[in-house]
Amino acid sequence: MASVTQHQIQKFHKNGFLVLEQFFSSEECDSMRSQIQRIVAEMEVPPHCRTAFSTREEEQLQAQGSSDYFLTSGDKIRFFFEKGVLDEKGNFLVPKEKSISKIGHALHAHDPVFKQITHSPKVQELGRKLGLERPVVVQSMYIFKQPGIGGEVTPHQDATFLHTEPLGRIVGFWIALEDATQENGCLWFIPGSHTNGISRRMVRAASGASTCVEFVGSEPAYEDKQFIPLPIRKGGLILIHGEVVHKSELNSSESSRHAFTFHVMEAKGTTWSKENWLQPTPELPFPSLYT
């Protein structure tokens, strides 16, 4: 892989994203895919997915179980499923490896393969080219985008979920583990949309509230024509500014669109919001990107 140029870094600052084809080798992508296969093969379905939907009260308990499962996933490896893949007893209606939507949020800390990729020399070098002085890894996810059922991701800004003061301190690293095309749900971006701050925040709800998180503010209506698609080949990396508006469509194709993604925060002079759903824990403080 060729070294990233200053011209490319300027493009990132102008557009809010940067496509780097062939950043990772085919072998590196395959090692992540086979590792995730092993993780899924050993996966236990979480108990809150197994509760029968019946009374309101059980539904609330289930929702509470789901929210606790989500809220405490920041320092663990946990499993999140597509809609409609489990019956009310929690049995799979499709093979389990086809039912899973994503795995998060600490693969980078607990799994040797993903840890090595996250802290690989070329990622560290890219961090330095971006001028990051004290970058820390805040979360990671493996996203499956299953054929036919991989749901759309509506237009959003990552800083809605990962809020910092000041803004502009979050960068996403999105790695295509298979070719991402317009048919199987590649990412779409509004170029230059990272310069207007954020319109919406997801915050932890007050204890006792019916949901674990709530949204403050609202996402403006974007026009389809504002977005440009970024198809990318297997091994490509997309750098995503924390405030750039992006989305992906439903995967209506026959092929999956696996990706590994992680977010980095410049910790120097930055405050991580206490209201974010994700919080560092004593067991897992945000690790430094640089090793």
Whether this model's pTM surpasses 0.75: yes
Q: pLDDT at position 262, please?
A: 98
The mean per-residue pLDDT over the stretch 244-273 comes to 97
- Number of domains into which the chain is organized: 1
Q: pLDDT at position 242, please?
A: 98
In a domain, 290, yes or no: no
Q: Do 289 and 127 touch, CB atoms closer than 8 A?
A: yes
Q: Percentage of the chain with pLDDT > 70?
A: 97
Q: pLDDT at position 54, please?
A: 55
**Euclidean distance between CA atoms 122 and 222, whole angstroms:** 35
Nearest to 187 by CA among 200, 201, 173: 173
What are the residues whose beta carbons fall under 8 Å from the beta carbon of 102, sequence distance 6 or more? 80, 141, 142, 143, 144
In a domain, 289, yes or no: no
Residue 27 CB burial class (10 angstroms; 0-12, 13-18, ≥19)? exposed
Provide the domain limits for residue 75. Answer: 6-272
* Position 71, amino acid: L
In a domain, 110, yes or no: yes
In a domain, 179, yes or no: yes
Q: pLDDT at position 1, please?
A: 62
Tokens (6 digits) for 130: 């971006």
Greater confidence (90 vs 19) lies with 19
Q: Is the pLDDT of residue 146 over 90?
A: yes
Residue linked to tokens 């006792």: 208
pLDDT in tens, 34-62: 999 999 999 988 887 876 655 677 777 77
In a domain, 283, yes or no: no
pLDDT bin (cut points 50, 70, 90) of residue 224 is very high
pLDDT bin (cut points 50, 70, 90) of residue 84 is confident
| CATH code, domain with 166 | 2.60.120.620
**Cα–chain center distance at 183:** 20
Residue linked to tokens 């509470």: 64
Q: What is the mean pLDDT of the chain?
A: 93
In a domain, 133, yes or no: yes
Q: Is the pLDDT of residue 110 over 90?
A: yes
Greater confidence (69 vs 51) lies with 69
Q: Is the pLDDT of residue 22 over 80?
A: yes
Q: Which helix (H) or strand (E) holds 65?
A: helix 56-71
Q: pLDDT at position 52, please?
A: 61
In a domain, 285, yes or no: no
Q: Is the pLDDT of residue 2 over 80?
A: no
* Distance in angstroms between the alpha carbons of the first and the last residue of the chain: 21
pLDDT bin (cut points 50, 70, 90) of residue 266 is very high
> By three-state DSSP, how is residue 96 classified?
helix
The mean per-residue pLDDT over the stretch 93-116 comes to 94
pLDDT bin (cut points 50, 70, 90) of residue 183 is very high
Q: pLDDT at position 67, please?
A: 86
Residue 31 phi, psi (nearest 5): -65, -35
Q: Is the pLDDT of residue 274 over 70?
A: yes
**Euclidean distance between CA atoms 57 and 62, whole angstroms:** 8
In a domain, 181, yes or no: yes
Counted residue by residue, the chain has a size of: 291
Of 71-75, 161-165, 210-214, 247-251, the least confident: 210-214
Q: pLDDT at position 92, please?
A: 87
**Euclidean distance between CA atoms 7 and 53, whole angstroms:** 55
